[in-house]
Amino acid sequence: MLGASEQRALACVPAHVHSGDAMDNTVLFVDFEESDQLRARLQANRLVWREHRDGKDFVVVSLHSEPEDLAALLRTVEAWHAERGLPALRFELDGRLYTLLVQAPAAPT
């Protein structure tokens, strides 16, 4: 069991240490025709902006500090994308490019 001084010391340790790079806590969605609508959807509770770099346009979304926030963001984007019937969306995270595939709902039998 920890003593009071150890508990106070642990309480001062941040759960997430920021590296100083502003892009560490962001997801970059490759710009597409309806990206302004995605920005509008996400701006209700996130910091969202457009950025041009490396010859590409991106919609940049800031992540919250909660560990599950990336999954929540991707579920929100996936649902938004599926509502529009768009099959895939490319995004960059930690310098790697990913594709979010959206499956169409199963046809009723």
pLDDT at residue number 26: 95
Q: 107 in a domain, yes or no?
A: no
Neighbours of 91 (CB within 10 A): 19
State phi, psi for 85 to the nearest 5 degrees.
Answer: 70, 25
**pLDDT at 45 exceeding the cut of 50:** yes
Domain encompassing residue 54: 20-101
**pLDDT at 77 exceeding the cut of 90:** yes
Q: 10 in a domain, yes or no?
A: no
pLDDT at residue number 104: 62
pLDDT at residue number 24: 72
Q: Which residues contact 84 (CB under 8 A, 6 or more apart)?
A: 34
pLDDT tens-digit series, residues 55-71: 889 999 999 999 999 99
Q: 48 in a domain, yes or no?
A: yes
**pTM to 2 decimal places:** 0.71
Number of domains in the chain: 1
| pLDDT bracket for residue 102 (50, 70, 90) | confident
Amino acid at 109: T
The residue whose two tokens read 């969202």 is 48
Whole-number Å distance between alpha carbons of 38 and 12: 37
pLDDT at residue number 76: 94
**pLDDT at 31 exceeding the cut of 90:** no
Query: 93 with 27: CB under 8 angstroms?
Result: yes
Query: 102 with 88: CB under 8 angstroms?
Result: yes
Residue 32, CB half-sphere, CA atoms under 13 Å: how many?
A: 14
Q: 96 in a domain, yes or no?
A: yes
Q: 51 in a domain, yes or no?
A: yes
Q: What is the mean pLDDT of the chain?
A: 79
Q: 15 in a domain, yes or no?
A: no
CATH (domain of 63):
3.30.70
